């Protein structure tokens, strides 16, 4: 039944007798109306006022006595513990815990291990093989070592170029140039692993078929001085010279010079194409790093570079594009700079700079982990493995007794070859790729280099 509202009228009168009579009538009417409403009206005749008074007065005293009496509380706790099937002392908060029977300190629990955490990788601190490399030219600006996709290492020793096959440990001589043309200043394998570019001191570049041991052509007219750096981009061979010029040569056509970049005042020491083949990084003896974009540079605007970095304080030869972040470039400075710097090729921002304490000659990224390897010259002549992006030293590899001028990586990314001014070439298992073909070949013999101990 819904709650209904009724208007109430207050009636006043001057005579007392009529007022008493009217009040009785109003009370009778009000009682009738309240019975019709949906409300709870207590019935006082049904209430036990004596019991209520006892509970309000005497009942609370008994509760206080039970709380103040420890025996009562103890009995209550035991009954509650038995009802809940719990030890009886679990509710005793005032007593101290019992002393252990054996006085042995509990061993700390092992630290939780995340499922995604990897076991720490073992990094060998010594080289696996050593090759004798006599008469290697001790020049910071040259690039005379490269490892091709066919698992063959090429190295220039003065006027000659030698090949060493990592699969069967065989070596051969590819070419020896005349004294008026030499020494050989740079070598670089094409992506097919068969064709080799050889830069000379007389500004010429030779293209060789290493499988057939045959010279295919000679590139002329690109430079006026020695060619110390080479970089392939598909069918394009980029050359950097002591004249400061960078030339793109298309080997499919007779007129091979298709683009020329002019931005360095001194010799071009390093060249590296990005994985996409769209951007080229160049470092020079003028302490400058350029990033060139093929879409911006043409024959009409050879000096239009994408970015120009002038923060190094020495010659820049070491350049390396990151394999897992396409817009990340690492560069290293020579004596007087000794730093590794990280650049964002999209924005031109410098992301990081680390002082290595030694001349930085070469840089290589690990293809399987977020690691960067650097080779150094004065004064430590060591290799340093860095963890990226924290740039914390993971390991230092020592062995060379003179500056480590050149460094190259095996096709599978596991092995690294270094050549130093101490006239040795060393192989390092620094990146540790499992089941590498080259490493399997290296372990076939009981002793290193069972067949020979020299390249030539």
Residue found under tokens 């493995």: 385
- Please answer whether residues 1 and 38 qualify as being in contact, where contact means their C-beta atoms are separated by less than 8 angstroms: yes
- Which residue numbers in the chain have pLDDT < 50? 1-17, 91, 435-453
Q: Helices then strands (H, E): number in the chain?
A: 4, 28
- The pLDDT score that the predictor gives to residue 129 is 95
Maximum Cα interatomic distance, the chain, rounded to a whole number of Å: 149
What is d(CA 76, CA 84) in angstroms, rounded to the nearest whole number?
A: 12
Three-state secondary structure of 56-121: HHHHHHHHHHHHHCHHHHHHHHHHHHHHHCCCHHHHCCCCCCCCCCCCCCCCCCCCCCCCCCCCCC
- The pLDDT score that the predictor gives to residue 93 is 52
pLDDT in tens, 93-134: 555 666 666 555 556 666 655 555 567 788 999 999 999 999
Does the pTM exceed 0.75?
A: no
Q: What tokens does 323 get?
A: 């394999």
- The pLDDT score that the predictor gives to residue 6 is 38
Going by C-beta distance under 8 Å and a sequence separation of 6 or more, which residues neighbour residue 184?
144, 156, 158, 159, 160, 161, 177, 198, 199, 200, 201
What is d(CA 360, CA 381) in angstroms, rounded to the nearest whole number?
A: 10
* 413, HSE (Cβ side, Cα atoms, 13 Å): 11
DSSP string computed for 375-443: EE-TTT--EEEEETTTTEEEEEE---SS---EEEE-TTSS-EEEE-TTSEEEEE--S--TT-HHHHHHT
What is d(CA 91, CA 70) in angstroms, rounded to the nearest whole number?
A: 13
- Please answer whether residues 235 and 286 qualify as being in contact, where contact means their C-beta atoms are separated by less than 8 angstroms: no
Alpha helices in 115-201 (DSSP H): none
Q: Is the dihedral of CA 357, 358, 362, 364 positive or negative?
A: negative
What is d(CA 365, CA 424) in angstroms, rounded to the nearest whole number?
A: 23
Query: φ and ψ at 72, to 5 degrees?
Result: -65, -45
Cβ atoms within 10 Å, residue 117: 8
β-pairing, 371-376 vs 383-387, is antiparallel
Dihedral, 357, 416, 208, 200 alpha carbons, nearest 10: 20
What is d(CA 312, CA 339) in angstroms, rounded to the nearest whole number?
A: 8
Cβ atoms within 10 Å, residue 385: 22
Cβ atoms within 10 Å, residue 127: 22
């Amino acid at each position: 039944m819904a709650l209904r509202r009724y208007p109430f009228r207050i009636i006043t009168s001057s005579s007392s007798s009529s007022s008493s009579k009217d009040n009785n009538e109003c009370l009778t009417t009000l009682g009738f109306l309240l019975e019709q409403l949906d409300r709870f009206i207590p019935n006082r005749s049904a209430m036990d006022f004596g019991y209520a008074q006892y509970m309000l007065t005497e009942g609370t005293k008994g509760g206080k006595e039970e709380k103040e009496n420890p025996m009562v509380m103890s009995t209550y706790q035991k009954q509650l513990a038995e009802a809940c099937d719990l030890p009886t002392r679990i509710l005793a908060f005032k007593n101290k815990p019992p002393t252990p029977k054996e006085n042995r300190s509990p061993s700390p629990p092992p630290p939780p291990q995340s499922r995604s955490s990897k076991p720490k990788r073992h990094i060998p601190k010594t080289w696996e093989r050593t090759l004798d490399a006599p008469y290697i030219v001790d020049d910071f600006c040259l690039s005379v070592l490269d490892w091709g996709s066919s698992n063959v290492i090429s190295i220039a020793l003065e006027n000659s170029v030698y090949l060493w096959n990592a699969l069967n440990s065989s070596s051969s001589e590819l070419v020896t140039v005349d004294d008026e043309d030499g020494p050989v200043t740079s070598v670089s394998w094409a992506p097919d692993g068969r064709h080799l570019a050889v830069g000379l001191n007389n500004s010429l570049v030779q293209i060789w078929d290493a499988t057939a041991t045959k010279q295919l052509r000679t590139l002329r007219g690109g430079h006026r001085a020695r060619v110390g750096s080479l970089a392939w981009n598909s069918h394009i061979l980029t050359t950097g010279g002591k004249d400061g010029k960078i030339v793109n040569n298309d080997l499919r056509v007779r007129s091979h010079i298709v683009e020329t970049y002019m931005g360095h005042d001194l010799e071009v020491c390093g060249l590296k194409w990005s994985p996409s083949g769209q951007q080229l990084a160049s470092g020079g003896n003028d302490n400058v790093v350029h990033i060139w974009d093929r879409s911006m540079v043409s024959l009409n605007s050879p000096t239009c570079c994408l970015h120009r970095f002038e923060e190094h304080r020495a010659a820049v030869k070491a350049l390396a594009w990151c394999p897992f972040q396409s817009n990340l470039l690492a560069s290293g400075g020579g004596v007087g700079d000794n730093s590794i710097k990280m650049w964002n090729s999209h924005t031109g921002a410098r992301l990081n700079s680390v002082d290595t304490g030694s001349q930085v000659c070469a840089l290589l990224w690990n293809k399987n982990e977020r690691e960067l390897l650097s080779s150094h010259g004065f004064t430590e002549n060591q290799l340093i493995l860095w963890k990226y992006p924290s740039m914390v030293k993971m390991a230092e590899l020592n062995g060379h007794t003179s500056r480590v001028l050149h460094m190259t990586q095996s096709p599978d990314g596991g092995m690294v070859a270094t050549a130093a001014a101490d006239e040795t070439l060393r192989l390092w298992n620094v990146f540790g790729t499992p089941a590498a073909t080259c490493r399997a070949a290296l372990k076939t013999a009981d002793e290193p280099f069972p067949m020979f101990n020299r390249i030539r």
